Amino acid sequence: MSGGLTGGTPYLCKQQRNGTTDLEVWAIPAPSGSGTITINYSGTFDHQSNAMLVNGANQASPCSAADSVGTTGNNASSLTVTPTNLTSLDLVVYGGAHSLSGDQIHATTGTEVFYGNATLTNLAVGYRAGTGSVTATWVVPSPTEALVGGRLQP
């Protein structure tokens, strides 16, 4: 991933893979300027992506990789995770994905900011302030489901 900005080097906060579903949360510490975020793939894949700008995040290490969590499911109707060491000042950024064409996947805890179900890979992204778990749900379960929750620190 390339931030396309004049400052900040992207780093992988958390990755969760389940068969053909690969879900990643990236962070860019101390970004500056403006630009285009570019995602480079190692091949041709069905994919969904989303970028979210968060004000007030820790500029040295916005996403705690050690506290971020992921899980997988096989034909479950929902998945839930709780990042560790959450405080009332933290923000959980999370995404749920699976590989079933056209299914309505949703980030159902906090605020959903994106969902895409137009390809064989479906994605829902959301955030929640404070402590507690986050959940993604879908109408039709898939054999390759994944959920990642990243702890963003103020």
pLDDT value of residue 125: 94
Q: Is residue 146 domain-resident?
A: yes
**61 within domain boundaries:** yes
Say if 4 falls within a structural domain. Answer: no
Let me know if residue 42 belongs to a domain: yes
What does the DSSP 8-state code read for residue 46? -
* Stretch among 29-33, 59-63, 91-95 having the lowest mean pLDDT: 29-33
- pLDDT at position 87 is 96
Q: Is 124 left (phi over 0), alpha (psi -120 to 50) or beta?
A: beta
Q: Are 112 and 96 in contact (CB under 8 A)?
A: no
Count of domains forming the chain: 1
Place of tokens 């969904």: 48
What was the pLDDT predicted at 101?
66
Question: What is the rounded average pLDDT of the residues 117-140?
Answer: 89
Which pLDDT tens digit goes with each residue over 41-92?
888 877 778 888 888 899 899 999 999 999 999 999 999 999 999 999 999 9
Per the CB < 8 A criterion, the answer to whether 96 and 124 are in contact is yes
Phi and psi for 125 in degrees, rounded to 5? Answer: -125, 140
Q: Determine the structural domain holding residue 33 and report its residue range.
A: 11-152
For residue 3, being part of any structural domain is answered with: no
* Spatial contact of 62 and 153, defined as CB atoms under 8 Å apart: yes
Residue 1 belongs to some domain of the structure: no
Is pTM, for the whole model, over 0.85?
A: yes
